Amino acid sequence: MSKVTTLQEAAASIPDGSTVAIGGLSMNSAPMALVRELVRQQKKDLDLVAIVSGMAVDWLVVGGCVRRVLAGLVSFEGLGLAPNFRAAVQSGQVAIEEYSEHLLICRLQAQSYNLPFMPTKAGLGTDVLGLHAESGAVREEKDGPTGEHYVACTRLPVDVALVHAHEADDRGNTRVNPKLVWMDNEIVNAATRTVASVERVVDNAAFTAEPERTTYPRFMIDTVAPAPMGAYPCSCFPDYGHDSGFFMEYSQAARDRETFTQFFQERVVGPETWEDFLAVNSVATGASA
Amino acid sequence: MSTPVPGYDCTMDELMVVTFSRAMANDTRAFNGAVSFIPVCGYLLARRTHAPELVWAASSIAVDADPDEIGDSTLSDSLWGGASMLSNSPFDFWSYAQGARYNTFAFRGAQMDAYGNVNNTVIGPYDAPKVRLPGGGGMADLGAMIPRIYLWSSTHDPRTFVDQLHFRSGIGWGDGGDHRERMGMPGGPQLCITNLCVFDFEPSSKRMRLASLHPGVTAGQVQEATGFDVIMPNGDIPTTAEPTAEELHILRTEVDPTSARLREF
């Protein structure tokens, strides 16, 4: 049975209250087409796992979809803070569960390896650990035989991972081209279920011809949703870069609530289909072909 | 925008990059995180001048990258041109980092304290922050793993250099003294390069100590701009050395022709 479906149906399969992990690294390869569809479908009470993220978290937060953000870093990098994320955390509208990059990766690894915890030196001596004193989700421990200090990172269950990739076949074999899977394979391996948006669907023969290039085997990918330019305004290396102009216009609009509401409606959630969205933002499709 | 350095034929951003570059030894194996224009320029300049064997992984991914220019993000793929390897997943990266095969990392924060610990998480109380910042990202991790840590700041003022961080996102020398050693962490912060001066760290307390003053800046001005007591060295305080014409030429024409480094000013 084909795993290929639409963005709309892929997003519809994610219930309110899910723990959703968002792929990508900062401005690289975030699954923006799927994220936009979650916002359009007005999902509620999602717990987001976002290791190093920005625009994706900001859309979901301002869309009212988020209960809690588990993150190592949320920003627009040199282009500023993620404005709605910042405001929502400051006002207490959204809870944040604070991590560093590697603490979160290690929790995901403990989950995927089915181990009680993964040890790391990450976070030692910082205030991050104190925030988890009650839950013990990440906790400082000392190895008995060696006396070495480490942080034990406990399992982090994830209901669904959202990633963006270049190509998949209808069975779910998926590849990133070239095979760069920063921050993505952690969440795919940990999640109960993964939805991949892809630049294009290709024949299975493309995978069997070059099996060494496959990034995720079909049993790890549950749903494939075609979305050309599906990481926009983030990048999908090497097909297209991030659109700094969009980031700057977005941040500029966010200085005023009314201006932003209009911007978000017109430029992000208003357009009905992904193709409409790209047209409104003057993004040429086919650039990725 | 950056300002001219009195008496030197360069601007402050250039002086900071060159000072950073000169601190890089030939056996440097570095990588970089977000909004790290000064270090990225510094690594590229060092590799083109006195440290040809220096390893730099752009965005921590692209080993030996040699981009034509530096874009608006130091984490983005626009920085990966000319690389001899794209590390395809974080597994390799964290092995290189945790095993200290990578030996050099530079970070900055909205706040820094006397021990080179940094805050990039919140201003104000954690539970009711005045400003929610991006978060610690990798600095909480890498501060504990990497032996040669470098800090920099283009805003040397009492709001940035504070006695008490509002949150310790990344560890420098921790509580000072032998704290890192006791915790099994290698090395620690080496220098902090600012728009007023260069600090090193006094060997026993591990607190910031004035190492050199940029031209036209006095020790009193540095103390006034710093929210903790600055350790003064014995004897005269040197002036930060002037960049050579060659260093400036390479920086301006080859390393960073679009002046991306000014994004930090």
Q: Tell me the per-residue pLDDT of A206-233, one tens digit each, with 9 for 90 and over.
A: 999 999 899 999 999 999 999 999 999 9
Q: Do A73 and B34 count as a contact with CB atoms less than 8 A apart?
A: yes
DSSP A220: G
**3-class SS at B45?**
helix
Chain B residues with CB under 8 Å of A241 CB are: 76-78
pLDDT at residue B90, rounded to an integer: 80
pLDDT at residue A209, rounded to an integer: 95
Q: Which of B34, B130, B141 is the closest to A123 by Cβ?
A: B141
Instruction: Give mean pLDDT, residues A68-72.
Output: 97
Dihedral sign, Cα of residue A22, residue A211, residue A102, residue A191: positive
Structure tokens at B104: 């050099």
Closest-CA residue to A119 (of A147, A144, A142, A145): A142
Q: Do B132 and A98 count as a contact with CB atoms less than 8 A apart?
A: no
Chain A residues with CB under 8 Å of B80 CB are: 237
Identity (one letter) of the amino acid at B119? Answer: N
Provide the 10 A C-beta neighbour count for residue A211: 10
Q: How confident is the model at residue A183 (pLDDT cuts 50, 70, 90)?
A: confident
Alpha carbon distances (Å) from B43 to A96, A145, B48, B49, B191? 35, 40, 9, 10, 15
**DSSP string over B139-179:** HHHHTTT-SEEEEEES--STTTB-SS-SS--B-SSTTSTTH
Alpha carbon distances (Å) from A106 to A93, A140, B89? 28, 13, 14
Instruction: Give mean pLDDT, residues A48-68.
Output: 98
Q: Which of B73, B137, B179 is the closest to A73 by Cβ?
A: B137
**Mean pLDDT over each residue of chain A, to the nearest integer:** 95
CATH homologous superfamily for the domain B12-264 = Glutaconate Coenzyme A-transferase (3.40.1080.10)
**3-class SS at A151?**
strand
In chain A the domains, ranked by start, together with CATH numbers, are 7-98+157-277 (3.40.1080.10), 118-154 (no CATH)
Q: Do B76 and A241 count as a contact with CB atoms less than 8 A apart?
A: yes
Answer with the residue of higher pLDDT: A49 or B2.
A49
Q: Do B145 and A122 count as a contact with CB atoms less than 8 A apart?
A: yes
Distance CA A127, CA A165 (A): 35
Instruction: Tell me how many residue pairs between chain A and chain B have CB atoms under 8 A apart.
Output: 163
**3-class SS at B19?**
helix
Q: Residue A288 pLDDT more than 50?
A: no
Instruction: Give mean pLDDT, residues A251-277.
Output: 98
Q: Report the percentage of chain A scoring pLDDT > 70.
A: 98
pLDDT at residue B89, rounded to an integer: 77
Distance CA A120, CA A107 (A): 10
Distance CA A44, CA A53 (A): 20
Q: Which residues of B187-207 are buried (b: 16+ CB within 10 A; e: fewer)?
A: bbbbbbbbbbbbbbbbeeebb
Min Cα distance B183 → chain A (Å) is 6
Min Cα distance B242 → chain A (Å) is 28
Q: Residue A68 pLDDT more than 90?
A: yes
Structure tokens at A74: 């949320």
Q: How confident is the model at residue A272 (pLDDT cuts 50, 70, 90)?
A: very high
Instruction: Give mean pLDDT, residues B232-260.
Output: 97
Q: How confident is the model at residue A284 (pLDDT cuts 50, 70, 90)?
A: confident
Distance, C-alpha B6 to centroid of its chain: 23
pLDDT at residue A285, rounded to an integer: 74
Min Cα distance B245 → chain A (Å) is 29
pLDDT at residue A289, rounded to an integer: 36
For residue A58, give the chain B residue with the closest CA. B134
Q: Angle at Cα A195 formed by Cα A189 and Cα A198, nearest 5°?
A: 110
Q: How confident is the model at residue A160 (pLDDT cuts 50, 70, 90)?
A: very high
Q: Quick check: A213 and A177 in contact, CB under 8 A?
A: yes
Which of A136-140, A175-179, A214-218, B169-173 bottoms out in mean pLDDT, i.e. has the lowest?
A: A175-179
Q: Which of B76, B140, B263 is the closest to A128 by Cβ?
A: B140
Chain A residues with CB under 8 Å of B75 CB are: 25-28, 52, 77
For residue B81, give the chain A residue with the closest CA. A238
Alpha carbon distances (Å) from A266 to A261, A263, B98? 9, 5, 46
Q: Which of A126, A186, A237 is the closest to B136 by Cβ?
A: A126
Identity (one letter) of the amino acid at A146? Answer: T
Q: Which of B89, B129, B134 is the closest to A90 by Cβ?
A: B129
pLDDT at residue A103, rounded to an integer: 97
Instruction: Give mean pLDDT, residues B203-221.
Output: 98
Q: Angle at Cα B95 formed by Cα B92 and Cα B98, nearest 5°?
A: 145
Question: Residue ranges of the domains in chain B?
Answer: 12-264
Q: Residue A280 pLDDT more than 80?
A: yes
Instruction: Give mean pLDDT, residues A170-188.
Output: 89
Q: How confident is the model at residue B2 (pLDDT cuts 50, 70, 90)?
A: confident
Distance CA B155, CA A249 (A): 26
Structure tokens at A160: 């669904």
Q: How confident is the model at residue A287 (pLDDT cuts 50, 70, 90)?
A: very low
Q: Quick check: B52 and B44 in contact, CB under 8 A?
A: no
Q: Which of A25, A92, A131 is the closest to B75 by Cβ?
A: A25
pLDDT at residue A286, rounded to an integer: 55
Give the ipTM of the model, two decimals please.
Answer: 0.88
Question: For the segment B72-95, what is each residue's pLDDT rounded down to a tens digit?
Answer: 889 888 899 999 998 877 888 998
Q: Do B143 and A180 count as a contact with CB atoms less than 8 A apart?
A: no
Q: Residue A9 pLDDT more than 50?
A: yes
Mutate to test the interface with A, among B74, B141, B262 (most CBs of A within 10 A): B141
Min Cα distance B167 → chain A (Å) is 6
Min Cα distance B175 → chain A (Å) is 9
